[in-house]
Amino acid sequence: MKRLALVAVATLATACTRPEVLPRMPSAPLAESGHTALDTTPKQDRRLVPAEAYVRTYLQLFGGLAPLEVQRRARGGDGGSLFDTWDDYLSALGFPDYRLDLPRGTQTNALMMAAFERLGVALCDRAVEHDLKSRPPPFVKDRLVFAFEPPGGAVTAAAFAPGFDVLHRTFLGYPARLGPAGREAAFFELYQQTAARHAEKGAVKSRFTPSESGWAAVCYGLVRHPEFHLY
Amino acid sequence: MKQRPLLILAAALVAAVAPPTRAASAEHSLDDYRRFRALSIDLAGRAPTRAELAEMESPGFDLDKWIDAHLEGPAYVERLERIYMDQLRLEVGPAFQFTPPATTLHRETILGPDGKPIWVYYRQNQRRARVETDGEFCLSQAETGQLFPNNQPPRGTAIPVKQKAIDAATVLVRPWWIYRDYRAASPKQRYGLDWGSEASGYALIKEMVFEPDGITPTTEVRVCREEAQAAEIGHIYASGRGAPVKPPPKKGAPAKPGKVPPPPPPRPVPPPVAPMVNGAKPMDGMGGLAKAPVAMGGTPKPPALQDRLKPPPGDNPYAVQHKGEEVSCRGVVAETMTIDCGCGAGLEHCLPGDGFAQDPRAFSFPTHIPLGLDLPFASGAQNASSWNKLWWSQEARHFFTRLFGTDRDFREVLTGRWSAVNGPLAQFYRSGALASCCGRERQFKMMDESEPLFRPAAVPTDLLPMDTDKWEDVADRGPHAAGLLTMPAFLAKYASRRARGAAVYSSFLCKSFVADHVDLKPSTEPNLMVREGCSTCHATLEPLAAYFSRVEETNWVFLPKEQFPVENPVCKKNAQGKMPGFCDFFYDGAFSDAKAGSLRGAYAAPDHAERGPAGIAADVTAQPEFASCAVERVASSFLGRPVRDDDARLLESLRGTFVSSGYRMRPLVKALVRSSAYLSANDDRSSLRAPVTLGTAPVAAPPMGAP
């Protein structure tokens, strides 16, 4: 019994012992291994042009027509091969559907990009037909997109520049000279390659001349440019 | 005079030191172009054209003036409207159907005496003097060979109907949807010839303009006699029949307990008091309700059940007790309790339909209008519900247009009693809105809407139902009107009291409900403000919902205090703890007791229930968060991102501008688009600086024109 009591007392004494405490030690300063710069540039994404503004711009480029008239002209005699119907594009463009509580699209996605591409190509092709292929051709001031006289013959970079500037202003809203270095040259190369491909023997038959195809390709590039869809 | 050379010298010095003005600058930076493009997109509604860029590059261009001019334009108004439409989504979806039986004319096809099809318009469930057709289509199975169930194709084989039967049961009318001058004695201005087209905004589908052969233009429509009446006041009708005659129970089936009330003594059918509308032509001179083949004064003999779809409607106790009393022809009871209320002159109180479907079609109108009604993206034949819902939504848009276009005090978005209506909305407020009342309300002695949210007397009298493009201001909808909150677009979109309260809370105070981290335990506690797991949201939500206690859910019927007190002794619980059955819809048994029933939704804040939607409008707009929320919503939309803590100074400054200008949006937006935050709202400026060394305060490049 005595032994048991001793064991109990010893156990109790051990249990009540103060826990071991490690004293706080100041940490050693970290050695500087380099000097980091703070990036102070804004980090938010660029704004997506609201769907309403995109379509109003599109209608304006088509000559300031009403949507249903644009649809009629964009489809032309090609049925749905160039332009389906607005119904097929509205939600893809980011329009909200208040009836179904579908919110506005505020970021691009694959479907939206495809819709931009489809609409852009339709605009450029119909603009080539209207501005460049019409006979007699409309006055420059009456042209929708290609408001310049396309240079004839072998096109040089210098001859290409004024027309490109018109398109650059039309779609991106500022002169081409203020764009990033190399942009004009890249688009000139695109023009040249497209025109050359269409001029090759055995090239796929097109309703556009090589020059018209070249300008259409430049138009495709600008109407699908991120700067056209963002602001 | 001696000071003059000094002044000239000083002016010359100032001119030499001062930077060249923007107008005089020949060269523009990329930032200038980008800013102009952003402003064009936000204030002109699209990217700038080449001509507009040329104007911006011209020496005399003044950007501030350009901004001021565009803050007056329609694109700016649409830009602001979009912010709140995105938030509130005030278009009612397909799940909400609105086809009140009292104002919806369906159409059935019968065979004329020559065997050719004829269209006849009628209202479902219409009470009629003829027992064979009472509550059903106005021509019987014996006459047509068919039965016409609601919303279903006819049953049976059609037989040619005798002219005498057709003339006895129907009349010819020149309706409003075809004749613009339908109120004239002899209307002549026909749709398609003198007025109306897809381009004008009012277009009928082909089936409404041509006879069944698809070739013959419709000049008059054939309508059941009861529906063609033009009286505004009708009389309670009692047929003298008791409970509906039901088929005998099957052999061996147990008899239902309870007493079967004896049929009341037969009563004479009141003579029709309503005049017929234009073109109502009893063809043989013997038509009319008084001469309908129904027993007069004697005991009506019910027809064999196989001649009808359902037993003829019996008289309810109210009809028996109040027989012959006057009632408004615009409410629910007009169709179900009278036989002398119709669709009015030229059927102007009803919407037509092209068939028997529950939601029939009549008009072709835009299906997608993201750029407004003037620029539709697609159009097509749509049903009557969509017609109404389109105009409800347009009322909200017009409200925003006026609010932002004339730069009114933004608090009026909730408090304004004004609105604007066009022809279809005028028709709706004169008829359709009232036709939602009063069925259940009748038990509380509410026979028609005594205190509607939109007083019919406030509707401009010169607006005709087909005036889709003619909008007129309504200065005061009525004492219960409260901005958007009492418009059908809001009340149908947010159908429950809680949904309405939550919409106001989140849209105009920028607050949301966040549930606490608690377990949801089974509970019998009806008070959600204290029930564990619910209280974190409902302690706030229930008092907000209480403001809408007097506006019926999924409806806009206002429940007046007189008939529907918050504490109603009529709805007290009995010894078994139950309220009278007719109270259940309006009074909440969970909060009622042996003394009184408690108006649904009011338990959390009876004073809120009394103050109604106008009360929540006043209380919310008085809170400081209202202005902060409006500023936050506009700033976030223009910046293209949610506002952050970094924006606190900007928001405070904008809020000051907004409040000091009398809660007007134009000064707010003007200050916002001139702020450096707006100018740096994307990361692609040409003036981006190289990363600076840690610890160096960033120095923002002064943006063009920034204050």
Q: Does residue B403 sit in the same domain as residue B283?
A: no
Last residue of a domain, one of B303, B333, B358: B358
Q: Does residue B336 sit in the same domain as residue B445?
A: no
Q: Does residue B352 sit in the same domain as residue B423?
A: no
Asked if residue B386 belongs to a domain, the reply is: yes
Asked if residue A77 belongs to a domain, the reply is: yes
Helix (H) / strand (E) element for A166: namely helix A157-172
Asked if residue A61 belongs to a domain, the reply is: yes
Annotate A170-197 with b (16+ C-beta within 10 A) or e (fewer).
bbbbbbbebbeeebbeebbeebbebbee
Asked if residue B407 belongs to a domain, the reply is: yes
Q: What total of structural domains would you count in chain A? A: 1
Last residue of a domain, one of B31, B51, B70: B70
Token pair 């620029």: residue: B375
Which DSSP category does A97 fall into?
B
Q: Which chain B residues are Cβ-neighbours of A140 within 8 angstroms?
A: none
Which DSSP category does B582 fall into?
G
How many other C-beta atoms are found inside a 10 Å radius of the C-beta of residue B633?
19
Which DSSP category does B606 fall into?
H
Nearest-CA distance B46 → chain A (Å): 4
Q: At what angle do helices B63-70 and B665-673 cross, to 10 degrees?
A: 150
- Output the CA–CA distances (angstroms, integers) from residue A21 to A13, A17, A18, A24, A33, in the order listed: 18, 12, 9, 9, 34
Q: In B339-491, which ranges are E strands?
A: 351-352, 361-368, 378-383, 419-421, 472-474
The predicted structure's pLDDT at residue A33: 82
- Residue A39 forms contact with B (CB below 8 Å): yes
Integer Cα distance of B212 and B207 in angstroms: 8
Asked if residue B443 belongs to a domain, the reply is: yes
Asked if residue B95 belongs to a domain, the reply is: no
Which A residues 170-229 touch B at CB under 8 Å? 170, 173-175, 178, 227-228
Question: pTM score, two decimals?
Answer: 0.85
Q: Which domain holds residue B282?
A: 100-244+264-358
Note whether B37 contacts A173, CB cutoff 8 Å. Answer: yes
Rg (CA), chain B: 32
Q: In B297-422, which ranges are E strands?
A: 326-328, 351-352, 361-368, 378-383, 419-421
Integer Cα distance of B175 and B427 in angstroms: 14
Note whether A56 contacts B378, CB cutoff 8 Å. Answer: no
Asked if residue B80 belongs to a domain, the reply is: no
Note whether B377 contacts A67, CB cutoff 8 Å. Answer: yes
The predicted structure's pLDDT at residue B416: 98
- Output the CA–CA distances (angstroms, integers) from residue B57 to A164, A167, B33, B39, B685, in the order listed: 19, 17, 9, 15, 19
Backbone angles phi, psi at B155, to 5 degrees: -110, 145
Q: Which chain A residues are Cβ-neighbours of B695 within 8 angstroms?
A: 38
Q: What total of structural domains would you count in chain B? A: 4
Amino acid letter for position A40 = T
How many other C-beta atoms are found inside a 10 Å radius of the C-beta of residue B705?
15
Nearest-CA distance B704 → chain A (Å): 16
Q: Using alpha carbons, select from B60, B79, B88 the residue that is nearest to residue B670.
A: B79
How many other C-beta atoms are found inside a 10 Å radius of the C-beta of residue B584?
15
Q: Does residue B164 sit in the same domain as residue B47?
A: no
User: Closest to B50 (Cβ–Cβ): which among A100, A147, A228?
Assistant: A147
Residues B326 and B352: beta-carbon distance below 8 Å: no
Q: Which domain holds residue A162?
A: 51-229
Q: Does residue B198 sit in the same domain as residue B178?
A: yes
User: Closest to A47 (Cβ–Cβ): which among B682, B692, B696?
Assistant: B682
Q: Which of A83, A100, A178 to mutate to test the interface with B (most CBs of B within 10 A)?
A: A178
Nearest-CA distance A103 → chain B (Å): 7
Amino acid letter for position B574 = N
Token pair 């012959």: residue: B324
Note whether B30 contacts A68, CB cutoff 8 Å. Answer: no
Q: Using alpha carbons, select from B372, B367, B552, B520 the residue that is nearest to residue B451.
A: B552
Q: Which chain A residues are Cβ-neighbours of B92 within 8 angstroms?
A: 99
Beta pairing partners, A8: none
Asked if residue A121 belongs to a domain, the reply is: yes
The predicted structure's pLDDT at residue B32: 94
Q: What share of chain A is helix, strand, coil (3-state, %, to 5)?
A: 50, 5, 45
Residues B424 and B391: beta-carbon distance below 8 Å: yes
Q: Which chain A residues are Cβ-neighbours of B376 within 8 angstroms?
A: 67-68
Q: Does residue B125 sit in the same domain as residue B157?
A: yes
B457: which 2 tokens?
């007397």
User: Closest to A173 (Cβ–Cβ): which among B53, B682, B694?
Assistant: B53
Q: Does residue B427 sit in the same domain as residue B482?
A: yes
Answer left, alpha or beta for residue A32, where phi above 0 means left and psi between -120 and 50 means alpha: beta
Note whether B375 contacts A86, CB cutoff 8 Å. Answer: no
Q: Using alpha carbons, select from A144, A124, A150, A153 the residue that is nearest to residue A216.
A: A124
Q: Which chain B residues are Cβ-neighbours of A67 within 8 angstroms?
A: 371, 375-377
Asked if residue A36 belongs to a domain, the reply is: no
The predicted structure's pLDDT at residue B331: 86
Residues B75 and B43: beta-carbon distance below 8 Å: yes
Q: Does residue B418 sit in the same domain as residue B330?
A: no
Annotate B511-549 with b (16+ C-beta within 10 A) or e (fewer).
eeeeeeeeeeeeeeeeebbebebbbebbebbbbbbbbbb
Asked if residue B93 belongs to a domain, the reply is: no
| CA A222 remoteness from chain centre | 10
The predicted structure's pLDDT at residue B281: 41
- Output the CA–CA distances (angstroms, integers) from residue A121 to A114, A127, A145, B661, in the order listed: 11, 10, 13, 47
Residues B93 and B516: beta-carbon distance below 8 Å: no
User: Closest to A67 (Cβ–Cβ): which among B78, B375, B696?
Assistant: B375
- Residue A107 forms contact with B (CB below 8 Å): no
Which DSSP category does B458 fall into?
G
Asked if residue A225 belongs to a domain, the reply is: yes
Note whether B86 contacts A104, CB cutoff 8 Å. Answer: yes
- Residue A9 forms contact with B (CB below 8 Å): no
Q: Which chain A residues are Cβ-neighbours of B38 within 8 angstroms?
A: 47, 231
Nearest-CA distance B492 → chain A (Å): 11
Q: Does residue B167 sit in the same domain as residue B209?
A: yes
Note whether B46 contacts A47, CB cutoff 8 Å. Answer: no
DSSP, residue by residue, B194-211: TB-BTTTTBEE-HHHHB-
Q: Name the pairing type of β-strands B378-383 and B361-368.
A: antiparallel
Q: Does residue B316 sit in the same domain as residue B371?
A: no
Note whether A46 contacts B684, CB cutoff 8 Å. Answer: yes
Q: Which residue of A has its CA nearest to B78?
A: A52
pLDDT in tens, A86-100: 999 999 999 999 999
Q: Using alpha carbons, select from B449, B508, B179 the residue that is nearest to residue B327.
A: B449
Integer Cα distance of B237 and B321 in angstroms: 10
Q: Does residue B46 sit in the same domain as residue B174?
A: no
Residues B601 and B500: beta-carbon distance below 8 Å: no
Burial of A126 per CB tally in 10 Å (0-12, 13-18, 19+): buried
Please list the rounded mean pLDDT of every run of 10 residues in chain B (707 residues): 45 40 62 95 97 96 97 97 98 94 96 97 95 95 96 96 97 97 95 85 94 95 97 93 60 44 41 44 34 39 67 88 91 89 96 96 94 94 96 98 98 98 97 92 90 96 96 97 98 97 98 84 92 92 98 96 96 95 96 96 96 98 98 96 91 98 98 92 54 40 34
Q: Please report the number of interchain residue pairs, chain A to chain B, with beta-carbon separation below 8 angstroms.
A: 145
Asked if residue A95 belongs to a domain, the reply is: yes
Asked if residue B278 belongs to a domain, the reply is: yes
Asked if residue A134 belongs to a domain, the reply is: yes
Asked if residue A222 belongs to a domain, the reply is: yes
Integer Cα distance of B347 and B52 in angstroms: 52
Note whether B368 contacts A87, CB cutoff 8 Å. Answer: yes
Q: Does residue B451 sit in the same domain as residue B524?
A: yes
Asked if residue B82 belongs to a domain, the reply is: no
